[in-house]
Amino acid sequence: MTELALQQYLDFVYIVAVVLFILSLKLLSSPVSARWGILAGEIGAALAVIATLFNPELVQYKWIIISLVIGAGVGVPLGMVHMTAVPQRTALSHAFGAMSAAIIGISEYYVGTRQVTRFEMGEISLEVIIGSLTFTGSLIAAGKLQEVLPQRPIVYRGQNIVSLSILAGALGLAVALVVNPTNTILFPIMVLVALIFGVMLVTPIGGADMPTVISLLNSYAGFSAALLGFVLNSKVLVVAGALDGSSGFILSVIMCKAMNRSFTNVMFGAFGQVQASAAGVKEERVVRSATPEEAASILAAANKVVVVPGYGMAVAQAQHKVRELYDLLTKKGVDVRFAIHPVAGRMPGHMNVLLAEADIPYDRLVEMDEINGDFPQTDVALIIGANDVTNPAARTDQSSPIFGMPILDVDKAHTVMVIKRSMNPGFAGIDNPLYYLDQTLMLFGDAKQFVGSIVKELGGH
């Protein structure tokens, strides 16, 4: 009786935690209330963890305490990484989350082998397959983002058929286990096959598609936790997993729309391969370039400037120099804003975090749909390390691989300045007609150094 009563108290605490989780996400709707959201989430998580420690099923605490200490020891440094490393940190945390979900499913199988029903076997298999493939897939994504693995898509002939057969193999093993749950030898093989599929799934995907892939892996990690909730009959896991899963799903839809591509195209299309031949047939065209002095005087004379940051700004670590430029121009009375394309960078919202870190006020960061109408009244559009998201061919050239992708209409600004290392086409290998327009000035050089030189010209240091 007392044990049962205790169990009910624990369930009640879990309900409070779930309410706090939902509040936490709700408070994230505005930057003003967002930090209260963190507090709500933290209280909810702490309540749930502490309540669990009172669970009557627990008989020894040694390993729990040791692993909680290790977890905190790993978690704190992962929480303190530099903002430029946030995409790979996020991919790594998806890997950790999916790994825990898969491991718990696996141990549930080995604990429950005696009485596991076919239905439970199906739940466990599905959960473990999704958790395992998300684990290795996220590790590959983290490796690509950290540039330990090549960012270019790695493809070979017949890849999709091979990958899909491996997935089919994992599902086939799951079906065999459902038919005969006592066939224990199949279970580790199924886990192994799912782990291999995760590698095959993400290896062919290029760096520019990472915002979608990270969101998709986020969604898988969430759904594997929700499925684990089904396996363990734990509602708190079902809710937290459903929230995480739907969040990742919404973000992937937003990312796909922002690239005008479908899920299947991102997962199986290996962006950046087909275009190599198309880029070869361009004729010689004239570009105009400018020095930092010229760029500085044009910027100083402008009324309205829109800065368009991209992944190149993150790579060059130019965000702090960009802040200095923002401060100087603002002091001179120039209206400076930042145009943020949804897929700029390597994960959703990447540019916002980098610019916020550099102390640029968030009300100066404007989304694509809001700012596009303002480009015709903009004196200077300054593009720093962005390429495809500014390519007007997406609007006009039906043969372009990015035709139909929503872009920032920078070509409508009076003057366009592009900071770029060289005329090499961008990541996707697509030529950008923006660079050959009459009002376009190319500023050749490293983003950080070039912005630094402009700042110096404008009287900064």
Partner 1 sequence: MPPDFISNLYVFILAGFVGFEVIKRVSPLLHTPLMSLTNALDAIVVVAAIIIAGRHETRLTTILGAIAVAASFSNMVGGFLITDRMLRMFKSRGSKQS
Residues belonging to the active site: 388
User: Which among 36-44, 179-187, 303-311, 410-418 is the span making contact with partner 1, rule CB under 8 A?
Assistant: 36-44
**In the complex, least distance from residue 283 CB atom to partner 1, rounded to whole angstroms:** 39
Binders of partner 1 in range 328-367 (CB under 8 A):
340, 342, 347-350, 352-353, 356-357, 359, 361-365, 367
Residue 188 touching partner 1 (CB under 8 A): no
Residue 314 touching partner 1 (CB under 8 A): no
CB atoms within 10 A of CB 180: 11
Q: How is residue 227 annotated by DSSP?
A: H
Six token digits for residue 57: 């099923």
Residue 251 touching partner 1 (CB under 8 A): yes
Name the residue type at position 37.
Answer: G
Beta bridge partners of 307: 338, 382
**In the complex, least distance from residue 458 CB atom to partner 1, rounded to whole angstroms:** 20
Six token digits for residue 165: 């057969």
Question: What is the total count of residues that contact partner 1 (CB under 8 A)?
Answer: 114
Site string for partner 1, 11-30 (x = CB under 8 A): ---x--x---xx-xxx-xxx
Q: Which is nearer to partner 1, 10 or 186 (CB)?
A: 10
**In the complex, least distance from residue 431 CB atom to partner 1, rounded to whole angstroms:** 29
Q: Is the dihedral of CA 352, 353, 358, 361 positive or negative?
A: positive
Residue 101 touching partner 1 (CB under 8 A): yes
Residue 192 touching partner 1 (CB under 8 A): no
Residue 451 touching partner 1 (CB under 8 A): no
Question: Rounded CA gap, 316 and 354, in Å?
Answer: 12
**In the complex, least distance from residue 52 CB atom to partner 1, rounded to whole angstroms:** 4
Beta bridge partners of 338: 307, 365
**In the complex, least distance from residue 114 CB atom to partner 1, rounded to whole angstroms:** 11
Among 8, 107, 182, 184, binds partner 1 (CB under 8 A): 107
According to DSSP H, which parts of 28-146 are helical?
Answer: 34-53, 62-79, 86-112, 118-145
Binders of partner 1 in range 50-69 (CB under 8 A):
52-53, 55, 57-61, 63-64, 66-68
Using an 8 Å Cβ cutoff, are 385 and 208 in contact? no
Q: How many residues in the chain?
A: 461
Binders of partner 1 in range 224-243 (CB under 8 A):
225-226, 228-230, 232-243
Q: Which is nearer to partner 1, 89 or 144 (CB)?
A: 89
Q: In a 3-state reduction of DSSP, which class is residue 168?
A: helix
In a 13 Å sphere around the CA of 336, the CA atoms on its Cβ side amount to: 24
* 3-state SS string for 303-341: CEEEEEECHHHHHCCCHHHHHHHHHHHHHCCCEEEEEEC
Residue 252 touching partner 1 (CB under 8 A): no
Residue 248 touching partner 1 (CB under 8 A): yes
Among 84, 88, 97, 133, binds partner 1 (CB under 8 A): 97
Q: Which is nearer to partner 1, 171 or 232 (CB)?
A: 232
Q: In a 3-state reduction of DSSP, which class is residue 377?
A: helix
Residue 128 touching partner 1 (CB under 8 A): no
Among 84, 88, 108, 267, binds partner 1 (CB under 8 A): 108
What Cα–Cα distance (Å) separates residue 295 from each residue in 360, 418, 456?
21, 10, 12
**In the complex, least distance from residue 132 CB atom to partner 1, rounded to whole angstroms:** 13
Question: Rounded CA gap, 203 and 150, in Å?
Answer: 9
